[in-house]
Each structure stands twice: as C-alpha cells, then as structure tokens.
C-alpha cells in the first residue's frame, strides 16, 4: 500500500501556469512563478504582488497571496502563501457510513520565503524555504522543505 501527502501542492497557482498546462518552470516570470522556480523572483522590476482565489471542484477552494521585492541591484526576496480548504465534509465510519452528524475540513497551507540573485543577465538562481502543513480531521502534519532553481 502506497501513501502520499500534500498532493494539493501540484495544483497550478496562476492563470498563466494553467494556460500552459503546468509547463511554467522554465518560463515563470516574477512573483507568481515562485512555486515552480524560486529563481523567477529575480525577474521582479521593483516590487510585485500577486493574489489568486479559485473555486475548485466539489466546494474546494484554494488561494495564493505573494509579494516580492528587489532589494539591491542583484538581490530579490519574496513571500508566498498557498492554502487549500476542502469545505465541510461529513465524518463517516463503519457504523455510520452516511455520516455521524459531525463535520470536518481539510485545511492545507504552504508558506515560502524566497531569496533570488541575478548572477549575470542570463543566469538567475534562487532558493525557497517552505513550511508545509496539512490538517485532516484529527491528523496534523507539518514539514519544512527547501527548493532551489535557476
């Protein structure tokens, strides 16, 4: 039996990424590209903000709030919050397959802090420190991860 978690992180977080069918890694520009490639923050001119909210399937909502800023001639920082909320779902068990009368939600959050640097006019590198959390009924899972890109 295989198990995986945080599959919601595979959801596309911008209209451009959705329009490109998820092929946003190499062409991401600016703050909206941070989840795909942290180096995309190095395309910010001065400062940039991004917000998106999606009503997904079956009452699920997910949203993004991002902000990035140029800190010097070649240094950039960015912050990115991505959340997913399942909406209320009925608690079921083997004795009450139609529901116990109790509801629960799946709430998932990813927060990224990103640093990017322009090394040359053609080479940019970046890294993100990620805090990822899933709360599913009584289970609470947390992890810290690191992304790098160029």
Which residues, in sequence order, are CB contacts of 90 under 8 Å at separation 6+?
Answer: 98, 99, 100, 102, 103
CB 77 within 8 Å of CB 71 = yes
**Is residue 126 domain-resident?**
yes
> Residue 1's pLDDT is what?
65
The proportion of the chain whose per-residue pLDDT surpasses 70, expressed as a percent, equals 95
**Is residue 44 domain-resident?**
yes
Q: Is the pLDDT of residue 139 over 80?
A: yes
Structural domain count, the chain:
1
**Is residue 61 domain-resident?**
yes
> Residue 11's pLDDT is what?
84
Can you give the pTM of this predicted structure? 0.86
Listed range (8-17, 68-77, 107-116, 141-150) with the worst mean pLDDT: 8-17
> Residue 26's pLDDT is what?
65
CB 105 within 8 Å of CB 91 = no
> Residue 30's pLDDT is what?
85
Q: Which tens digits make up the pLDDT trace of 21-70?
A: 777 666 777 888 898 899 999 999 999 999 999 998 888 999 999 999 99
Phi/psi at 90 (5° precision): -75, 140
**Is residue 51 domain-resident?**
yes
Domain containing 29 equals 7-149
**Is residue 1 domain-resident?**
no
> Residue 73's pLDDT is what?
94
Least Cα distance to 11 among 68, 84, 79, 111 occurs for 84
pLDDT band of residue 17 (cuts 50, 70, 90) is confident
**Is residue 131 domain-resident?**
yes
> Residue 41's pLDDT is what?
93
Average of per-residue pLDDT values in the chain: 90
**Is residue 2 domain-resident?**
no
Two tokens at 119?
């090394």
> Residue 10's pLDDT is what?
84
**Is residue 60 domain-resident?**
yes
Neighbours of 58 (CB within 10 A): 7
């Amino acid at each position: 039996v295989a198990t995986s978690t945080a599959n919601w992180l595979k959801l596309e977080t911008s209209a451009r990424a959705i329009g490109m069918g998820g092929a946003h890694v190499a062409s991401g520009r600016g703050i909206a590209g941070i989840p795909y490639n942290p180096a995309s923050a190095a395309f910010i001119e001065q400062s940039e903000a991004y917000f998106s909210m999606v009503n997904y399937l079956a009452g699920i909502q997910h949203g993004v709030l991002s902000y990035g800023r140029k800190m010097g001639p070649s240094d950039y920082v960015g912050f990115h919050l991505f959340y997913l909320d399942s909406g209320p779902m009925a608690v079921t068990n083997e004795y009450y397959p139609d529901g116990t009368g109790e509801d629960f939600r799946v709430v998932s959050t990813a927060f990224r802090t990103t640093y990017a640097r322009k090394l040359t006019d053609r080479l940019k590198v970046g890294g993100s420190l990620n805090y990822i959390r899933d709360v599913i009924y009584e289970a609470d899972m947390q992890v810290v991860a690191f992304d790098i890109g160029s």
